[in-house]
DNA sequence: CCGACCGTACGACTTTCCTCGTACGGACGT
DNA sequence: ACGTCCGTACGAGGAAAGTCGTACGGTCGG
């Protein structure tokens, strides 16, 4: 099926937050913010494809990412403009927080 | 049971985000930010007490609020300092976003 | 045209979350 | 001391989320 994205005005904060409350999806957003548009595959190694599809759907339905077919791939990108327009400063704060959080998690793992 | 709060360094972004991904809890945080320390009761009219206790636990365990007994009440307050130290700028961005979001939801309701 | 590849659709299973009713315990006022 | 109020603990029920296997449909390269 063709992906249907919510309009900018339909984006709801609670959906964005619960979407990003999942570590896998938060990691995806981190990668997209750092590296720009990317294909679906390879973003989360070791996870089955149907699980990935599920997470793309959640991110797309909550308004966090664009999903654009290109050949046999699907390209993902952050909806940075819409998120910034809707919730100014939130995305940048979230990305900074995600970085700090990832560092803390890594520190814990080695502790 | 005595409430046990995570230390500042134990606060994890994914826990904060999924805690705030629930509309009720997001509303509680909005009220606490606006009005400061408040008693548990009366924050969410029409919800049973055991449900409230559940939400306090989620917010407390994720590191978003302090919970402090005072007489026969329990006072709730935002962990603003810890959240700011851990994730600079995030809480303010979230509160601004929550306000914008609440306005949009109200607009939708009247549509 | 055919096989390989990318991603989705669907169904199933498990786990977690949300909500509530009931029972309990501490703190206050009389 | 007694009843009342505030909140928690526990258990149960239903709803939602996360994961996967399998099957399907496009798209590219030979």
Instruction: Give the nearest nucleotide to B54, CA to C1'.
Output: C18
Residue B23 has phi, psi (to 5 degrees) of -55, -40
Q: What is the pTM of this model?
A: 0.94
How many angstroms separate the CA atoms of B85 and B64, rounded?
Answer: 13
A86 and B105 within 8 Å at the Cβ level: the answer is: no
Number of domains in chain A: 1
Spell out which residues of chain B touch residue A100, defining contact as CB-CB under 8 Å: 13, 86-87
pLDDT for B15 equals 98
How many angstroms separate the CA atoms of B37 and A26, rounded?
Answer: 31
pLDDT for A57 equals 97
Residue B100 has phi, psi (to 5 degrees) of -60, -40
User: Is residue A1 domain-resident?
Assistant: no
How many angstroms separate the CA atoms of B4 and A87, rounded?
Answer: 32
Give the residue numbers spanning the domain of A83. 8-110
User: Is residue A94 domain-resident?
Assistant: yes
pLDDT for A55 equals 98
- Pair of tokens at residue B16: 């904060």
CATH number, domain with residue A85:
1.10.10.10
Higher pLDDT among residues A45 and A57, named by residue? A57
User: Is residue B67 domain-resident?
Assistant: yes
Measured between CB atoms, which of B21, B22, B87 is closest to A100?
A: B87
CA closest to C1' of D27 belongs to: A72
pLDDT for A111 equals 76
User: Is residue B85 domain-resident?
Assistant: yes
Read off the pLDDT of residues A1-27 as tens digits, 9 standing for 90 and up: 556 899 999 999 999 999 999 999 999
Q: Tell me the mean pLDDT in the region A43-51.
A: 93
Spell out which residues of chain B touch residue A101, defining contact as CB-CB under 8 Å: 12-14, 87
Instruction: Round and report the angstrom distance from CA (A27) to C1' (D24).
Output: 30
A54 pLDDT above the threshold of 90: yes
Read off the pLDDT of residues A57-104 as tens digits, 9 standing for 90 and up: 999 999 999 999 999 999 999 999 999 999 999 999 999 999 999 999
Spell out which residues of chain B touch residue A64, defining contact as CB-CB under 8 Å: none
What residues of chain B score a pLDDT lower than 70?
1-3
Taking a C-beta distance cutoff of 8 angstroms, is the pair A23, A58 a contact? no
């Amino acid at each position: 099926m063709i992906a249907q994205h919510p309009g900018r005005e339909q984006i709801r904060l609670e959906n964005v937050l619960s979407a990003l409350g999942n570590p896998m999806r938060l990691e995806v957003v981190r990668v997209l913010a750092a590296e720009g548009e990317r294909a679906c595959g390879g973003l989360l190694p070791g996870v089955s494809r149907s699980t990935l599809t599920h997470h793309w759907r959640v991110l797309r339905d909550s308004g966090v990412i664009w999903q654009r077919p290109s050949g046999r791939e699907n390209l993902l990108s952050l909806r940075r403009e819409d998120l910034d327009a809707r919730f100014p400063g939130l995305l940048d704060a979230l990305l900074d927080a995600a970085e700090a959080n990832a560092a803390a998690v890594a520190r814990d793992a080695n502790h």
